[in-house]
Chains A and B, each alone.
Chain A
Amino acid sequence: MGIKRLLTGACIATMLMGMGAQAEEMTRERIAVGITETIQGYNPYGDAVVLIGSLWCKVYGCITRFDFEQGRMVPYLAESVEPVGERVWEIRLRSDWQRHNGDPILAEDVVHSIERTRNDPNSMRQFVVASIESTEIVDDRTVRITTKEPDATLPDNLSLLPVTSKKLYDAYGQDADRNHAYGAGPYRLVEISIGNHMVLERVDDHPMVSPTNPYQIMYRIMAEPEQRVTALSNGEIQIAQGVPPQLVARVDELPNAHATFANSVEMMFLAMNPSTHPWDVKEARQAVAHAINREAIVAALLDGRATLLDGPVGEGQFGYDPDFRTPYDFAPEKSRALLEEAGLSGVEIDFYTPVGRYTTDRQIAEAMVPMLEDAGFKVNLRTPEWATLWANVQAGGVPFYYMGRGQMLDPSRALRQYFETDGSPRLDYSNSEVDRLLQAERRTFDVDQRVATVRKAMELITEDAPAHFLWLHQMAWGVADGVDFTPRPADRVDGWEIHIRQD
């Protein structure tokens, strides 16, 4: 009797709890997006995370933005961004856009934003303005920026620079971010709950938005993928970022949502530090490149959801060459021959991989071990915690590792960081010809010429094999029916690209 009562009570309780379930269904006015990254706070310069940075560009507006249709940077808050000398760029601001409180966007705001990015004690985005030597206000709408050396990648950097108001900062200090976050972007900031969510609201008279764009968007942090998918299924959220391969089929089976894919712009690669043995021997690096069966890994572990790379970049990224093919096909016999030729058969190597940082990273590394051993390496797989591994990689203490490098819409900064002499200790690679080409591409303002130079540098790097370029993950997103959203590379979830169907 007691058990019966208990069970009956439990059933009634569950049914009662269920009454009125799911009040958070999509309306024509607002949607929720389940994201994986945490939200640091109100300071638009305080977060190095790409997705969060792009949210601030929606609120404040950035000087340029990447147009995925055109495959290049286009002016955003600026009317034009043009080089007017070898080291001087002129930015002309739009006159037809205003801040959400009606204030104009001024040249002094651009200078203020550059200074804040550089000097704000809470800024984590100093790299964005690292190449800038000085700024000069020409008139209310015109700024001249002088770079330390010729820098054709400046427009790329300026796409990461939210333009905040000098007037409001002078009046309110850091409090301006929290209580006077008036930007000139198509969405205004409504609310932030640190570490939980961020709510943006459409600016109806902004030229970039249309009535079918959601009026409000909540970016809700949901670290657990099962939760994101479940929340998508029951209508708590309408877009789910980062659906892992094992859950894609479940999303596709949902009656109210589907999975959709976008290439990431994060190159996945095997780094081999040439200042360490045996990676100082080119044949050893080439042996690795021939040993890895990328097709098999992508098919078996990534469910086919990755695009193989022939160099550091793939389709849609700056400098991609559709005619270039990597010289390193899967050829275990070539691997063995190369190692034997170098007298390195049986050489012991430590192979490091992060765990849980990238899609099925550990499983991928585990699959690579027998491939490398088949080539003649004796492999010790190391799986340190991410913070430990990352600190060691940045310090140059890891000779051979599986890793990703994001923010590569324009690969210039990444190529410099990994492959230019003294770019960073993480690979410690040096090749005078690569140095020459990378320096030249940064000085080349003609886009076609620059593409040609970047391509040449990337071909050389690929052939010399300090890194073996593997693939770009195809990132899966879950999207509710009734919402039109094509995910973009680089984790962009821009409100003006989301449309709620009106039928």
Chain B
Amino acid sequence: MASYLVRRLIGVIPVLLMVSLMVFALTQLAPGDPVSMLVSDETSAEDRQRIVEAWGLDRPAPVQYLSFLQNAVTGDFGSSFRYREPVLDLVLARLPASIELAIYATLLAVLIGIPLGVLSAARPNSLLDNAGSLVGFFGVSMPNFWLGILLILVFAGTFNVLPSGGREPWGMDLPSITGFLTIDALIQGRFDAFWTALRHLALPAIVLGTSMTGIIMQLTRATVAESLREDYVMTARAKGLSERVVLWRHAFRNALVAVVTIIGLEFGALISGAIIVETVFSWPGIGMLLIQSITYRDYPLIVGLVLVYTTLFVLVNVLIDILYTTIDPRIRMK
């Protein structure tokens, strides 16, 4: 297992190199430039040139890239053109917000998608199955930004029961320990703050989790339905096991590898999908930061953020591989 993990983690390095090279090349090829976007309309040509030189943008692109790599090895991803802060500091300050949102969205999707998928598979063409399919289609096809605005209008506007955005209210004053507000609140015994953080999480997590719910539900339904047609299920029934045991312990367990795979893939996609949701809800995560950095052609921040997304995606997949061995003991890490 340990050697497998080491190999997988070493395998991340060429992936990161490729991604960084591609993103760097694309940012260079894209029209527009950070100086035009960030300095005042009235800045003189001489001052512009000074800024170009200060940011190293006058150097040939390969030199810029190699310089970036050289610094990145030491953990220095440069400074954001827009915020003039180290990229790593900016990303680390916002990463917990994105991960916390993604975790709650995933929890929501798993808690709704899996039971609905299993029960739909157990009772094909029933009312529950049809309702489940509807939820599945709704989730998969609903655009995030539209659903987000709709929920803001209904729950923050019309009924005024949930906040319209942000991660915490003004003046919550919760000292940060882990960066995850709900966990920090629980650690410090601040149940009021926990509740408040949960309320702020509610709408963005629902929006973010909706499409994942649909995908998990549909995949669970299909794989469990397939499992239910297998011989071992017939054997289990013949042994006199209850339908609940057959369904959950035998059919669902065998379908779990596929379900966990899709949860892993979706979790990665969820973090990148949060770009839109974070913007709609003013959620202070790395998604909103990425949107702002692209708008301003903030090259160091764009590259840094994409690398973080890539790393997260790869790590989640490694985690899923490890989970496979727990779910199905026949799978060995080699």
Contact = CB atoms under 8 A, between A and B. Distances in A.
Interface of A: 2-3, 14-15, 17-18, 20-24, 30, 32, 38, 40-41, 43, 46, 48, 121-122, 124-127, 130, 193-197, 199, 218, 220-224, 226-227, 229-231, 233-234, 236, 384-388, 390-392, 394, 405-407, 413, 417
A384 B31 contact: yes
A199 B47 CA distance: 31
A125 B47 CA distance: 10
A390 B40 CA distance: 12
A361 to B, nearest CB: 16
B42 interface: yes
A196 B40 contact: no
Closest 6 CB pairs of A and B: A18-B161, A387-B32, A127-B42, A388-B31, A48-B40, A126-B47
A392 B31 contact: yes
Given A196-B166, A222-B282, 20 more contacts: A2-B128, A17-B198, A17-B202, A22-B160, A24-B170, A46-B84, A48-B43, A126-B39, A126-B50, A196-B282, A220-B170, A226-B149, A227-B164, A227-B165, A231-B156, A236-B156, A385-B31, A385-B32, A388-B30, A390-B36
A127 B280 contact: no
A419 to B, nearest CB: 14
Contacts of A18: 159, 161-162
Contacts, number: 162
Interface stretch (B267-275, B287-295, B313-321): B287-295
A23 B284 contact: no
B44 A127 contact: yes
B281 interface: yes
B41 A3 contact: no
A21 B159 CA distance: 10
B291 to A, nearest CB: 8
Contacts of A40: 82-84
Contacts of A227: 149, 152, 164-165, 280-282
12 contacts: A15-B161, A40-B82, A40-B84, A46-B84, A48-B39, A126-B40, A127-B42, A130-B42, A195-B289, A234-B164, A387-B297, A405-B41
B103 to A, nearest CB: 18
Contacts of B296: 387
Contact of A390 (B32, B127, B166, B279): B32
Chain B interface bracket (under 10, 10 to 19, 20 to 34, 35 or more): 35 or more
Given A194-B85, A226-B152, A21 B162 contact: yes
Contacts of B253: none
A391 B32 contact: yes
Given A32-B170, A387-B295, A127 B36 contact: no
Contact of A223 (B161, B163, B202, B282): B282
Q: Which of A130, A387, A391, A407 has the most CB of B within 10 A?
A: A387
Contact of B44 (A48, A126, A384, A388): A126
